[in-house]
Amino acid sequence: MAYHPPPYKVPHRGTSRVGSVVGAVICGVLTLVLLAVGGIFFLLSRADYSDHTGRAEAVVTEVVMTDDGSIGSDRDEAGDTDVYVDYEAEGQSYSRVKLNGLNPSSYSTGEALTVAYDPADPGDPVTVESTEPGAFDVFGYVGIGLLAGAAVAAVAVIVFVVRIVRR
């Protein structure tokens, strides 16, 4: 009896090609998202309120929360929170002025706080903690991490595209 080797089966490459295309698309979208978010975080880290050397006692007059449709009981997770304050600075009274800077949403209506402002533009108050050196550095670190993740995802896109082209 003669030996008959089993027939050689050529692997089906269609599924693998589709997988590579899907992988390239997913990694491409991930790259774009990480680039956008990482860039925003990095730009936030460059915020500089060092010229806000004036100080004034303020009172929170209104806290406006906009619901973004998400489910959650924590007011920071429920949407955007804008805090408005009244204060006097440079001989002028300011009413219902939006408070900017780090963590303005941690204040409640009626709460007293010290705000920082630029003496050249006292109508733009920020939280005092925003004027401290390095207050926004953490955003830069997060941004750099996200941008590094975007670089890794971009390399994955290149790997997937090379796999597609070689088939």
Which residues of the chain fall short of a pLDDT of 50? 73, 75-76
Integer Cα distance of 51 and 139 in angstroms: 20
Which residue is listed with tokens 């595209």?
A: 161
Integer Cα distance of 77 and 80 in angstroms: 8
Contact 60, 110 (CB under 8 A): yes
Q: What is the pLDDT of residue 22?
A: 93
Q: What amino acid is encoded at 160 in this protein?
A: F
Integer Cα distance of 138 and 44 in angstroms: 10
Q: What is the pLDDT of residue 76?
A: 47
Domain assignments of the chain as residue spans, ordered by start: 14-46+137-166, 54-131
Query: Is the pTM higher than 0.75?
Result: no
Contact 143, 39 (CB under 8 A): yes
Q: What is the pLDDT of residue 11?
A: 59
Closest CA to 126 of 67, 46, 58, 79: 58
Which residue is listed with tokens 């009896």?
A: 1
Strand order in the sheet with 54-67: 92-98, 79-89, 54-67, 112-118, 121-127
Q: What is the pLDDT of residue 75?
A: 47
Integer Cα distance of 145 and 39 in angstroms: 10
Q: What is the pLDDT of residue 105?
A: 92
